Amino acid sequence: MRFRFLFVVFWIVLLGTVPLWAAKKSTSSQLAKQRAELKNLEANLAKQRKKVRLLESEEKGVLNTIAVLDENLNRTKEYVQVLAKNESTMKQLLAEIGHSLDSLDKEIARRNRAMQKRIRELYIHGDRGTPEEILAILKGETSPERQIYYVNRILTDDREKMDRLSWLLRERALKKREASGRLSELRSLQSKKTAEEEGLKQQIQTQGAVLASVQKSKSLQTKAIQEIERNQKTMLSLIRQLEKKREQELAQAKKKKNSKKKVTGKNALPRIPVKPIGPKCLPLNGSIIAEYGMHEHPVLHIMTRNLGVEIRGKKGDKIKAAAAGNVVMVTEIDGRGPSVIIEHEGGVYSVYGHMSSIRVKEGDRVGNCEDIGTVGDLASLNGIKLYFQISEGTDTVDPLKWLKKK
């Protein structure tokens, strides 16, 4: 009887599952992508919060303080959104695993019944020997060698199926452990999300208090205007440096050309400058939220002079070069964040600010409407936007009017 009991148990275990996937690959890959995004955001958020801590120990300008708080607020909002997305994906994955495990349990019960029927049929019909022989083996009355031989004969037809079922049993155990791990991860995410949401409320209150104090205080407004003017002077200083460098290069080229003429004679053909091909283009498809010239500051509500235009954008929108030219500067500009400056024919410079990513480097040649990066909200006080400026030499002009020139 002992052998019969072991034989039956052996079949129950091996026939107790079915090939099911506990979770869709698409959900798992989606979760992996979101984890990478979270890791990147956490690194950026740590840097940003370090800036906020420095505000408490150092006296910063009005605009810089607001910009740092605003950027920290935006990064926290983005982080909370990704946490929520991660939480949703994790719940979906857990639901898939739970559904698959439920299906496995039902199939185990079904196969138990099938196994019992199989044993009865073997006993009744004796398709692998006489009923007396099967009974003797099940009672353990024959030699061990004979028992092993007979069991092997019975299992030969089902060998492939048993191997598969054995693998599925291991897979089922792995999925159960995965479900336990995912549940723990989900609880950690939910705890982190709750803490970030509370912190977000405090940040909104802090930023609101700072803005309110600036809007009420004339002295702080004066400081803000001085900061804006100082940032503009920095921008114009960069353009002057670039223009001075261009003029020096032109003078050197002219000198070299004249000396070459003396050597080659009057028959030498003059070099014709290559002109940009194709029309100019607006660097970002979006509405103009701040025009060139005097306008009301969107956050401080004070009148300031704008040296360019501001164009509303969405996360990930591509920024295009307004015309063909050479990238002469890639830098961080006060008040404009990560920026690119392109030199065009005739000493014209275009400036692109508040970029979240930059695809070009200094010295690159870009064509008309070529992608140079993506728009962001770095150093912006009112969301995702592009700052676009045009200078003819050292003088700024209305970018929208310049775009219409042929």
Is 228 inside any structural domain?
no
- pLDDT at res. 368: 92
Q: Is residue 252 located within the same domain as residue 351?
A: yes
Return the top range by mean pLDDT from 91-105, 156-170, 199-213. Answer: 91-105
Q: Which region among 46-50, 79-83, 272-276 has the lowest average model confidence (pLDDT)?
A: 272-276
Q: Is residue 79 located within the same domain as residue 39?
A: yes
The dihedral over CA atoms of 213, 214, 219, 221, expressed in degrees to the nearest 10, equals -170
Q: Is residue 173 located within the same domain as residue 246?
A: no
Burial class (CB in 10 A: 0-12, 13-18, 19+), 359: middle
- pLDDT at res. 136: 64
Q: Please, which pLDDT band fits residue 9 given cuts at 50, 70 and 90?
A: very low
Is 76 inside any structural domain?
yes
- Domain encompassing residue 94: 2-214
Q: Please, which pLDDT band fits residue 220 given cuts at 50, 70 and 90?
A: low
Q: What is the pLDDT of residues 10-53, one digit of tens each?
A: 444 444 444 444 345 576 677 677 677 777 767 766 766 666 56
Average confidence (pLDDT) over 362-388: 91
Q: What is the pLDDT of residues 117-148, one digit of tens each?
A: 666 665 665 545 555 665 665 555 666 666 56
Q: Is residue 130 located within the same domain as residue 172?
A: yes
Cβ-contact 288, 313 below 8 angstroms: no
256 vs 288, higher pLDDT: 288
Helix H or strand E encompassing 328:
strand 325-333
- pLDDT at res. 233: 80
Q: What distances in angstroms separate CA 66 from CA 47, 48, 57, 63, 299, one per listed residue?
A: 16, 13, 16, 5, 10
144: number of Cβ within 10 Å: 9
- pLDDT at res. 303: 81
Cβ-contact 342, 349 below 8 angstroms: yes
pLDDT at 359 over 80: yes
- pLDDT at res. 304: 82
Q: Is residue 132 located within the same domain as residue 205?
A: yes
Average confidence (pLDDT) over 355-376: 94
Task: Report the domain count for the chain.
Answer: 2
287 vs 107, higher pLDDT: 287
pLDDT at 242 over 60: yes
Q: Is residue 254 located within the same domain as residue 198?
A: no
Q: Please, which pLDDT band fits residue 352 given cuts at 50, 70 and 90?
A: very high
- What region does 269 belong to: left with phi over 0, alpha with psi -120 to 50, or beta? beta
pLDDT at 238 over 80: yes
Q: What is the pLDDT of residues 156-190, one digit of tens each?
A: 555 555 566 566 667 777 778 877 887 887 788 77
Q: Is residue 246 located within the same domain as residue 161?
A: no
- Closest of 331, 300, 330 to residue 228, by C-alpha: 300
Q: What distances in angstroms separate CA 294 from CA 164, 253, 297, 303, 326, one per listed residue?
A: 76, 40, 9, 7, 30
Amino acid at 10: F
Q: Is residue 290 located within the same domain as residue 258?
A: yes
Is 21 inside any structural domain?
yes
pLDDT at 8 over 50: no
Q: Is residue 261 located within the same domain as residue 384?
A: yes
The residue to which tokens 């030498």 are assigned: 268
Q: Is residue 186 located within the same domain as residue 256?
A: no
- The per-type count for the chain, helices as H runs and strands as E runs, is 8, 13
Q: How far apart are CA 244 and CA 246, in angstroms?
A: 5
pLDDT > 90 in the chain, percent: 21
pTM for this model (two decimals): 0.57
Is 352 inside any structural domain?
yes
Residue 342: CATH number of its domain: 2.70.70.10
Q: Which region among 182-186, 212-216, 258-262, 287-291 has the lowest average model confidence (pLDDT)?
A: 258-262
Cβ-contact 216, 302 below 8 angstroms: no
- Cβ neighbors of 175 (< 8 A, separation 6 or more) are 22, 23, 97, 100, 101
Is 114 inside any structural domain?
yes
Instruction: DSSP letter for 127, please.
Output: T
Q: What is the pLDDT of residues 53-62, one digit of tens each?
A: 655 555 556 6
